[in-house]
Amino acid sequence: MAGVGSSGNGTVPFVRGERTWTVVELLRWIEAHFRQNGLESPRLDAECLLAHALGMERIGLYLQHDKPVVESERAGLRELVRRRVRERVPVAQLTGRKEFWSLDLGVTAEVLVPRPETETLVEVALGFLPDREGEYQVLDVGTGSGAIALALAHERQKARVLATDLSGAALAVARANAERLGLADRIRFEAGSAFEPALGQRFDLVVSNPPYLAQDEAASLAPELAHEPAVALIAGPAGTEILETLVAGVGDVLAPSAGFAVELAPGQDEPVAAWCRAAGLVEVSVTLDLAGRARVVSARAAAERGDE
Ligand SMILES: C[S@@+](CC[C@H](N)C(=O)[O-])C[C@H]1O[C@@H](n2cnc3c(N)ncnc32)[C@H](O)[C@@H]1O
């Protein structure tokens, strides 16, 4: 197809000209363009942006593969493709959407784009919430888009969730997601650092996916990360600072036998597990993500407070 393979400089030629472009031709062109420019998931990115520009779901691209795409639609698409390649804006920020735990979440530049590995944390967390009579009180520290809080509230009708974040802008995104998904009546949102908004309360489960990158690590990572809030990514010089704060303080908000689960970077599991044991938590365990990397440390409070 004309144009494919000739676009390493970020030029996007499919807007003007007499040529008719069908959905599938555009999809192939954009995928090739993304591949040539070194993007990690060229096909998926191309599908998401094309579907967004055409106002359809991804499956629609295949159902209407031979539909001609008019120039006005191509103009909007061109800008999305340009920003993806030149500025490395994450796809989810370009479309304003990200699927997490099969829930369609709204995302903005104010929140971390929910990651697939965080679904491992949700799975571990659900293991602490078996079916039973009565409500569960759940705390999600650093809720961002609300991904974890929403997944847990969606899966457990009896869960009442307190979702907190340092960032008021992130909480506004999370609240809008809860309302759109019909879960707002079971989730409270409060601003504050670590356990500050939860003090004086006890929970059956405390979860968190806190920032866990070290300051000097961040610069060497994917350029897409520069578009996400630093407060969502970077914990401090070591990377484990907020994890350490959470482990140190969680005893004040856990009910007897309650669950605790945190996401972390591979390599942080050993120190975090050791801190959990030192804090008197029991059943400390490490769960791997789908790529086989240590991703979650979980533990329980002792059955009676003060029991070691
Ligand atoms: C890695 S993001 C996780 C977002 C979301 N829970 C998820 O899994 O997609 C970390 C979140 O913690 C928030 N945060 C950072 N430091 C915090 C602190 N000290 N107390 C509470 N929240 C904090 C950030 O604003 C950000 O929304």
Q: Tell me the pLDDT tens digit for each residue of 71-122.
A: 888 999 999 999 999 999 999 999 999 999 999 999 999 999 999 999 999 9
For ligand 1, the distance from its centroid to the CA atom of residue 55, given in whole angstroms, is 31
Angle at the Cα of 23 (from 56 to 58), degrees rounded to 5? 35
Predicted confidence band at 18 (pLDDT cuts at 50, 70, 90)?
Answer: low
Q: Tokens 């809860």, residue?
A: 178
**pLDDT over 70 (residue 275):** yes
pLDDT band at 11 (very low <50, low <70, confident <90, very high): low
- Model confidence over 141-153: pLDDT tens digits? 999 999 999 999 9
Secondary structure in 3-state letters for 207-273: EECCCCEEHHHHCCCCHHHHHCCHHHHEEECCCCHHHHHHHHHHHHCEEEEEEEEEECCCCCHHHHH
The pLDDT tens digits for 157-213 are 999 999 999 999 999 999 999 999 999 999 999 999 999 999 999 999 999 999 999
In angstroms, the CA 162 to CA 155 distance is 16
Specify the pTM.
0.93
Give the pLDDT of residue 152.
Answer: 97
C-alpha dist (Å) from residue 230 to 101, 107, 167, 225, 300: 24, 16, 11, 8, 30
Q: Stretch 14-33: mean pLDDT, rounded?
A: 86
CA distance 24 to 229: 35
Going from the Cα of 144 to the center of ligand 1, the distance in angstroms, rounded, reads: 5
Ligand 1 neighbours, Cβ below 6 Å, are 111-112, 114, 118, 141-145, 147-148, 164-167, 170, 193-194, 209-211, 231-232, 242
State in Å: Cα 286 to ligand 1 middle: 21
- Kindly tell me if the per-residue pLDDT of 290 is higher than 90: yes
The Cα–Cα gap between 141 and 217 comes to 23
